[in-house]
C-alpha cells in the first residue's frame, strides 16, 4: 500500500481519511483532538503524535484544517511539514484558506523542494462521507496529475481550475453562492410560514422549478424540522465569507450582496449560532421577524 499522511480529522477530514484508507492507502494521520482519531484508528489507520511523525516515510501529505493560521502553523511550525517532509513530497491542501496565503505557501514549498496544490472541497459532511465531494484544484498541471488518484478517492467532481491559489478563489466563490442560496431560501421559508402554507408542498413546487438547487435538496429537512446539527458550521462559513470580502477588496471588486451576506453570517455568530449548521441562518430571519425560537430546541 502507498503510505499517505492526513493532518486534520474534523467533520470533513475524518471521512476523507477513511475514504483514502478504503481506497487502499496506508493512512498515517495526526489531529490535535485525540477523540477525532478514533474512527480512523478503528478502521486500521495509524495515528501519530506529531506532524513530523505523521510525515515520516510518506511522499503525499494531505491537510484538512479550519483556517489559514492553522495551515501556516502545520506547514511552517517547528517540526512542521516544510521542515520535515522529504524533497519531492506532494502536499495536497484540502483546507479552505486565503488565495494569497496559498500562493505564498506554494512558493515556500517550491523553495524547499516540495510541491503544494490547493484542493478545497465542497459538498459538506454528507459528500465527504460518500466520497462525492467537488474538488477545486489550483497548482502546476504535473502536480495535479500526480495527485489525481488521491483527489478522486475523496471527490466525484475534480476540476483543475488554474495555477496556485485558483482553487481557493473558486472555493470562495462557491461559499458566496452557497451562503446566498441558504439566506434567500430561509427568507422564502419564513415568508411561506407567515402566509400559513404547508412547507412540504410549497418546497416541492420550488424544487421542481428554476428555484430548485442542491442547497434546497440538502438543507430542506433542516429548515422544515428546525434541526441544525452541524454538517457545516456557521462560524466556518463566517470565516469563508471573510476570505470572500478580503479577496474582493484585494482586487478592487464591488459585490454588494457579498458584503450583506458577510454581515448577516457574522451577526448569526454574534447571536450565538456559530456552532449550528449554516442552514440555521433561518434563525436570523426569524429573529428579524420576532419569531425567534429557543436555541436549545435546535441542537
- The catalytic position among 36, 149, 171, 239 is 171
Confidence (pTM): 0.92
Structure confidence at residue 296 (pLDDT): 53
CA-to-CA dists, residue 32 to 7, 51, 55, 64, angstroms = 9, 10, 15, 12
**What confidence tens digit (pLDDT) does each residue in 54-97 have?**
999 999 999 999 999 999 999 999 899 999 999 999 999 999 99
Instruction: Give Cα separations from 39 to 7, 10, 30, 123, 131 (angstroms).
Output: 14, 11, 13, 20, 16
d(CA 245, CA 262): 8
Clarify whether 171 is annotated catalytic: yes
pLDDT block averages, 10 residues each, the chain of length 299: 94 97 97 93 96 96 97 95 96 97 98 98 93 97 98 98 98 97 98 96 97 95 95 95 96 96 98 97 97 59
72: CB partners within 8 A, 6+ apart: 101, 105
Distance, CA of 272 to CA of 285 (rounded, Å): 14
> Is residue 116 a contact partner of residue 164, using CB atoms and an 8 Å limit?
yes
Residue 27, strand partner residues: 4
Q: Which domains does the chain have, with CATH numbers?
A: 3-163 (3.40.50.720), 169-298 (1.10.1040.10)
What is the C-alpha to C-alpha distance for residues 3 and 56, in angstroms, rounded to an integer? 10
Amino acid at each position: 500500500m502507498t503510505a499517505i499522511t492526513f493532518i486534520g480529522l474534523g467533520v470533513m477530514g475524518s471521512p476523507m481519511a477513511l475514504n483514502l484508507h478504503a481506497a487502499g492507502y496506508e493512512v498515517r494521520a495526526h489531529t490535535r483532538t485525540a477523540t477525532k482519531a478514533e474512527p480512523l484508528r478503528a478502521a486500521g489507520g495509524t495515528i501519530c503524535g506529531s506532524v513530523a511523525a505523521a510525515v515520516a516515510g510518506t511522499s503525499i501529505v494531505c491537510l484538512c484544517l479550519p483556517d489559514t493560521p492553522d495551515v501556516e502553523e502545520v506547514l511552517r511550525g517547528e517540526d512542521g511539514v516544510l521542515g520535515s517532509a522529504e524533497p519531492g513530497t506532494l502536499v495536497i491542501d484540502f483546507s479552505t484558506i486565503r488565495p494569497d496565503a496559498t500562493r505564498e505557501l506554494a512558493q515556500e514549498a517550491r523553495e524547499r523542494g516540495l510541491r503544494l496544490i490547493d484542493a478545497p472541497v465542497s459538498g459538506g459532511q454528507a459528500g465527504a462521507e460518500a466520497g462525492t465531494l467537488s474538488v477545486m484544484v489550483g497548482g502546476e498541471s504535473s502536480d495535479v496529475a500526480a495527485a489525481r488518484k488521491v483527489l478522486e478517492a475523496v471527490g466525484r467532481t475534480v476540476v483543475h481550475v488554474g495555477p496556485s491559489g485558483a482553487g481557493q478563489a473558486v472555493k470562495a466563490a462557491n461559499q458566496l453562492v452557497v451562503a446566498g442560496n441558504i439566506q434567500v431560501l430561509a427568507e422564502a421559508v419564513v415568508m411561506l410560514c407567515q402566509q400559513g402554507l404547508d412547507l412540504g408542498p410549497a418546497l416541492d413546487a420550488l424544487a421542481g422549478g428554476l428555484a430548485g438547487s442542491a442547497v434546497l435538496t440538502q438543507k430542506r429537512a433542516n429548515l422544515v424540522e428546525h434541526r441544525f446539527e452541524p454538517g457545516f458550521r456557521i462560524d466556518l462559513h463566517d470565516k469563508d465569507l471573510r476570505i470572500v470580502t478580503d479577496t474582493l477588496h484585494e482586487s478592487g471588486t464591488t459585490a454588494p450582496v457579498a458584503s450583506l451576506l458577510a454581515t448577516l453570517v457574522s451577526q448569526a455568530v454574534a447571536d450565538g449560532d456559530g456552532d449550528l449548521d449554516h442552514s440555521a441562518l433561518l434563525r436570523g430571519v426569524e429573529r428579524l421577524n420576532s419569531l425567534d425560537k429557543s436555541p436549545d430546541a435546535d441542537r
